[in-house]
Amino acid sequence: MYLLELAGEDDAFARREARSAATDVSHLATGLATARGIDAEGVRGLAYTHRASELLGTCGAEIDSARLLVELAGIDREGSVRVRARRVRETDVDTQRAERELGSVLVERGFSVDLEEPDHELRAVFSEDTCALGWLAAASRRDFAERAPTEKPFFQPGSMDPLLARAIANVAGAAPGKSILDPMCGTGGGLVEAGLVGARVVGADAQWKMVRGAEENLAHYGVEFDVFRGDATRIPLRDGTVDGVVFDAPYGRQSKIEGELREIVEGALAEARRLAPRAVVVADRPWEAVIESAGWEVEDRFERRVHGSLTRYVSVLV
């Protein structure tokens, strides 16, 4: 079993993304989940999971309980070690004391201490009334700030942040050997994140300005791509061409554009249904009737509050 340390405020969404790199993902405590197995390279590409560790065991959220667990555990490792303790929420455990006490137990068992480049790292994570301990197996690459919308060569207001874009790409199935289409690619942020985890990316946008900007951004990050000017409701690809579709649907509540938006979103969803077995759509509303009329079923839906006047709905469609 493995311990997953989740990031952000929405554990349910983090667990859903984690399923792209782990099997049998289950809730353990706030900010924590377990998994039966992991793909280490997949974990490195996750947005809302920070680390995966081989689970040593769980106990109450007290240092003495954690120390006893380590003392009694069977450990088939040797070499150097460091201990890292972390508080998630709803606990006031002294993490420095936890690191000292657990480290002393490991030293008594024959480990040497190396705080810089150890052979093994023991993680002790305290959340609510639970402490979970595990040997670090994989950590996600936390380089998302380098790809913030304003850091890209081509920027437009309203661009999606790379954390959410990466998570959506992962849920859609982005991986080496897989293909992802964004028929409303805008600045190409979603395609950048899908490409960086190894997927083949295809994008379309109705505006030449966006097509050129997306190409500039994709090239900047070394992602191979095929981007063209096109209508999201009429993509010139054969049926079943791609493995997953992602798009950020147009936003707007004014009555004069409501009908036009519905027509665009419904047409794009119908076209996505023709092209792929899975889609992940972000929008400012659930679009339930439109999704159903386009032939999709909602596998999961998540609400992510952006600010007082905007909540994003992330719908996973099959």
Tens of pLDDT, residue by residue over 118-149, are 999 999 999 999 999 999 999 999 999 999 99
Instruction: Identify the CATH number of the domain defined by range 2-139.
Output: 3.30.2130.30
Whether 214 contacts 185, CB under 8 Å = yes
Report, in angstroms and rounded to the nearest whole number, the Rg of the chain calculated over CA atoms. 22
Q: Considering the domain 144-317, what is its CATH architecture? A: 3-Layer(aba) Sandwich (3.40)
Looking at residue 258, its pLDDT comes to 65
Q: Which residue did the predictor score with more confidence, 9 or 182?
A: 182
Residues of CATH 3.30.2130.30 domain(s) within the chain?
2-139
pTM: 0.95
Helices marked H in the chain: 11-18, 40-44, 63-72, 95-108, 162-172, 189-196, 208-220, 255-275, 288-293
Query: In the predicted model, is pLDDT for residue 234 greater than 90?
Result: yes
Name the band, by pLDDT with cuts 50, 70 and 90, for residue 256.
very low
Residues of CATH 3.40.50.150 domain(s) within the chain?
144-317
And the tokens for 307? 């600010």
Query: In the predicted model, is pLDDT for residue 37 greater than 60?
Result: yes
Beta bridge partners of 51: 5, 139
